[in-house]
Amino acid sequence: MLDSLPFPIAVVAHDSGAANHIIAWSKKVDQNRMHVCLAGPALKLWEIAFPHASISTLTDALSNAKSLLSGTGWASNLEHDARKMARKLGIKSVAVVDHWTNYRNRFVRNGEEVLPDEIWVIDNHAQKIAETEFPNTHIVQLPNLYLDNLVKEVLSNEARLTGDAESHVLYVLEPIRQVWGGDKLPGELQALDFFVKKMDLLLLGDNPSIKLRLHPSETIGKYDQWMEAQKGLKVTLDDSLTLAESIAWSDVVVGCQTYAMVVALAAGKRVISSIPPWAPPCVLPQPEIVKLTDLLPQKFPAGKVTNSTN
């Protein structure tokens, strides 16, 4: 996987998405040949995967490396700064795109675009998008080892579970970072409200058990007020140690457009997008993902924006 890059490799990441893939590709690499500068969710993931890893500053990581492997997250300028520094140092720069949205914006901060020499993606859908967005950049599709490993873990956990009669619904959360339809509520809360109001369309039976799984970038307590307001629903915060354990427990997985839904789909779960009809449609390209809006008896006219969630 990483043998195509000159060693030593500087690994720079902040968000969890790309970090998960880089970790999966790095499992068999001598960690002494990698200089890592990590922060945020990526740092936590790396420390779990490689407990004895040494964390460098950005300057030290790049000054001692011959290539850069970076994430493309939103929550930090760290990866952007790393690509700028790699360009100045004249070392090969590779960026990992882990999703299917906003490709161009991932490489822009304060109006400045810094593209890598090469972009790595993890499926055919992403490759087509990247080749269209960046016709002059080398695009490489790598095996999705992270997804493969997670599916194996889900199946292993399922084998140890005993079933019960009620439906198990796992709602995988994510920060949307925008509001929809003129509503003051963040998109993630609008989607949750839309889900519970239209949940009967999913034929989940009487009083299903619902667990909310926080996104790695979200804080505990964010959804406490929302959960307290759900009278008559059996809603709890998921406390499973791993995403695989959470998915294994579930019968149905619901969310907006987070990568956890793709994992659940690959593990054979029924997957629903809860994005409401007044919001931009779900960007996940997998056709097997059911859109809750498609189950509405009377759809909104195309392009109509409304504040209503009824």
Report the first-to-last Cα separation within the chain, whole angstroms: 49
Secondary structure of 244-308 in HEC code, one letter for each residue: HHHHHHCCEEEECCCHHHHHHHHCCCEEEECCCCCCCCCCCCCCCCEEHHHHCCCCCCCCCCCCC
Q: What sign for the dihedral angle of Cα 245, 250, 255, 261?
A: positive
Q: Which domains does the chain have, with CATH numbers?
A: 2-143 (3.40.50.2000), 148-295 (3.40.50)
Q: Which amino acid makes up residue 61?
A: A
Q: What is the share, in percent, of the chain residues with pLDDT greater than 90?
A: 85
Helix/strand/coil for 121: strand
Q: What is the pLDDT of residue 299?
A: 54
Q: Which residues of 126-137 are buried (b: 16+ CB within 10 A; e: fewer)?
A: bbebbeebbeee
Measured CA to CA, the distance from residue 169 to residue 287 in angstroms comes to: 20
| pTM for the full predicted model | 0.86
For the chain, list residues with pLDDT below 70.
Answer: 163, 165, 298-310
Q: Which residues of 262-297 are buried (b: 16+ CB within 10 A; e: fewer)?
A: bbbbbbebbbbbbbbbbbeebebeeeebbebbeeee
Q: What is the CA angle 182-235-150, rounded to 5? A: 90
Helix/strand/coil for 236: strand
Measured CA to CA, the distance from residue 3 to residue 5 in angstroms comes to: 5
**Token pair for 201:** 């369309």
Angle at which helices 40-49 and 16-26 cross, to 10°: 20
Tell me how far the alpha carbon of residue 225 is from its chain's centroid: 24
Q: What is the pLDDT of residue 274?
A: 98
